Structure 1
């Protein structure tokens, strides 16, 4: 299910922003990993930390 969502959203992203193919020439918009949890089991600070550390994890930055 997650792979379907990631693949579908990447396809739409590149349709609406074709110039981004220069940044992602192989079409790999998302990382291979996955993170999922229900709202009740993860504190907001942990989610914030996870999101903020994405650039370190993937060793690239997109917006910053």
Structure 2
């Protein structure tokens, strides 16, 4: 008999693996990064710009990803 905790743990692991795979499959922005956020015009840190294709600061990007902008 399979323990319900083992089934729950297996389900959680499958969902986690699917979420990671979906994130890795999504396309990353490319090209040059902006020096200032296109929404609030605050400077974007150089380390973030080094990722390439960055258009927003972290707080503004967070709002966009949450669907609040």
Give the TM interval when normalised to the shorter protein: under 0.3
Greater helix proportion: 1
- With normalisation by structure 2, the TM-score equals 0.24
- With normalisation by structure 1, the TM-score equals 0.25
- Higher Rg: 2
